Structure 1
Amino acid sequence: MAGGFKKLKQLGLDKFDELRFVEIQEGAMPCIEKLSIQRCKSLEKVPLGIEHLSELKVLEFFDMPHKLLKTICPDEEGEDYWRVARIPEVYSTYWRGGGWEVYSLESFSEGENAPMLNTVINGWELQTRWK
């Protein structure tokens, strides 16, 4: 809803198994700084209208399909890269082997063997980092 959620600073979407797309209207969530999308296995694209969130500083994906991440790659395959290009921190994070693996936006197109932004870090460090 345009003009809605005027004071919201953080939003997390977690485990909406049937969620296929999200649309953000211009003027909605004008103060949002962090958007986390987790385990939404049917989500096909980055939220439409995310480019309107001028205060967004962190966009993070937890355990999301590689297909979605390819749409925001900074290469010719990333048809929606322009939507997230101005966001300072865009990450994809996976829980593997008892720790978090964090990948930067630039590594999304490189697949499973992409260089990690950070080495494996524990959950407490990740939680503290995003506060």
Structure 2
Amino acid sequence: MAPGGARMASPAEVEERLAGAEAALVACGHSHVQRAMRSASGCLIVNPGSVGLQAYDDDHLHYHIMQNGSPDARYAIVERGAAGWGAALIAVPYDWRPMAELAARNGRPDWAHAIATGYARPSHQ
């Protein structure tokens, strides 16, 4: 298990979770970390990332940290073409300073750090 108790699902775990599903496209999130992969059956699985909060820590179910290591806004464009579904993962640099300052003014130094760096400042271990 990765530090903080969270890691990306392996290809084998993805296949197990999709067993019996007939979907051509699965959109997921919550990790705030971009990823696109295709299952053995051809299903495209896409996590678009996060436009506004690039990292966080949480203790729901178990303590974990999710972070992408960059302040860039991230999203995905998913399109269906003649060959099936495809995804473009986009990272866009932007002036994150005003948002980090707003988070700090609103009593969220953890969010200010995440917005500015793409890394979580753990609230506890």
Does TM-score exceed 0.5, indicating one fold?
A: no
> Which of the pair has the greater relative contact order for Cα pairs under 8 Å at 6+ separation?
2
Structure of higher CA gyration radius: 2
- If each structure's strand is expressed as a fraction of its own residues, which one has the higher value? 2
Under a length normalisation based on structure 2, what TM-score does the superposition of the two structures give? 0.29
Under a length normalisation based on structure 1, what TM-score does the superposition of the two structures give? 0.28
